[in-house]
């Protein structure tokens, strides 16, 4: 069994909570979505599976750098849990390129995206939705079940070691772990549970056809 596909250890104790101090909120629709920009992002200088220190961040630019570092270094799987595919974070050419490389490297590689609201990314023509129209076999996008409670957080899981977590989805600040398999297993279990109860939204289905 592939290590990335191994089930979580149910007996594993809960990890200690991180003390999170929010620097403030921003409106869900701010900052304005990136329409193709010539500015190229640079990834954070940390190795997936190597850097063991917790990396805290408080700005959009830092969040973008950590997300790109995890996306570019993933070799097997990516999971995104996001309210609306956050254009400020994921609607960028470097993100699309990283995801494309991963998915074309092997038919067994996969990207799964759970989104709460599909109307905004569909209306925007989000880059990852467009990628989903091309790579239908291993890129899957589903909507969180509206009849079930959902987390306030937003996060990105990269392979079995990497996690970018923003405890409040409408706040830039959060944490990045590049080598914390235990924490990733716990977050992966939560993602898989939400995935198993998710739905395929009609608007999303129409867009992806």
Delineate the domains of the chain, giving CATH numbers in brackets. Answer: 56-208 (3.30.870.10)
Q: Where are the beta strands (DSSP E) in 1-93?
A: 55-57, 77-82
Structure tokens at 28: 């869900």
Tens of pLDDT, residue by residue, the chain (209 residues): 444 454 445 455 566 666 655 555 554 444 444 444 458 899 999 999 999 999 999 999 999 999 999 999 999 999 999 999 999 999 999 999 999 999 999 999 999 999 998 888 888 889 999 898 888 889 999 999 999 988 999 999 999 999 999 999 999 999 999 999 999 999 999 999 999 999 987 766 665 55
Give strand pairing partners of 141. 113
Q: In this structure, are residues 121 and 95 in contact, taking their beta carbons and an 8 Å threshold?
A: no
- Strand 55-57 and strand 174-177: the pairing is antiparallel
- pTM, 2 dp: 0.80
Q: Report the pLDDT value the prediction gives residue 34, as an integer from 0 to 100.
A: 47
Structure tokens at 10: 């149910």
Q: Report the pLDDT value the prediction gives residue 49, as an integer from 0 to 100.
A: 97
Distance, CA of 167 to CA of 54 (rounded, Å): 15
Q: Report the pLDDT value the prediction gives residue 121, as an integer from 0 to 100.
A: 82
Q: In this structure, are residues 113 and 140 in contact, taking their beta carbons and an 8 Å threshold?
A: yes
- Closest residue by Cα to residue 154 from 7, 33, 53, 28: 28
């Amino acid at each position: 069994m592939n290590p990335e596909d191994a089930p979580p250890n149910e007996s594993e104790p809960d990890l200690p909570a991180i003390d999170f101090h929010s620097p403030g909120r921003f409106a869900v629709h701010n900052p304005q979505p990136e329409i193709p920009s010539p500015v190229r992002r640079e990834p954070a200088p940390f190795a997936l599976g190597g850097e063991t220190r917790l990396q805290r961040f408080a700005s959009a630019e830092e969040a973008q750098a950590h997300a790109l570092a995890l996306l570019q270094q993933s070799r097997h799987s990516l999971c995104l849990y996001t309210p609306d595919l956050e254009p400020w974070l994921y609607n960028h050419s470097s993100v699309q390129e990283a995801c494309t490389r991963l998915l074309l490297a092997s038919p067994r590689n996969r990207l799964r995206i759970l989104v709460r609201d599909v109307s905004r990314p569909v209306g925007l023509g989000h880059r990852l939705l467009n990628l989903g129209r091309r790579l239908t076999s291993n890129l899957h996008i589903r909507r969180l079940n509206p009849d079930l409670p959902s987390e306030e957080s937003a996060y990105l899981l990269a392979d079995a070691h990497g996690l970018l977590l923003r405890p409040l989805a409408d706040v830039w600040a959060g944490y990045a772990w590049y080598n914390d398999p235990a924490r990733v297993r716990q977050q992966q279990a939560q993602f898989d549970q939400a995935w198993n109860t998710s739905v395929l939204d009609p608007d999303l289905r129409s867009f992806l056809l």
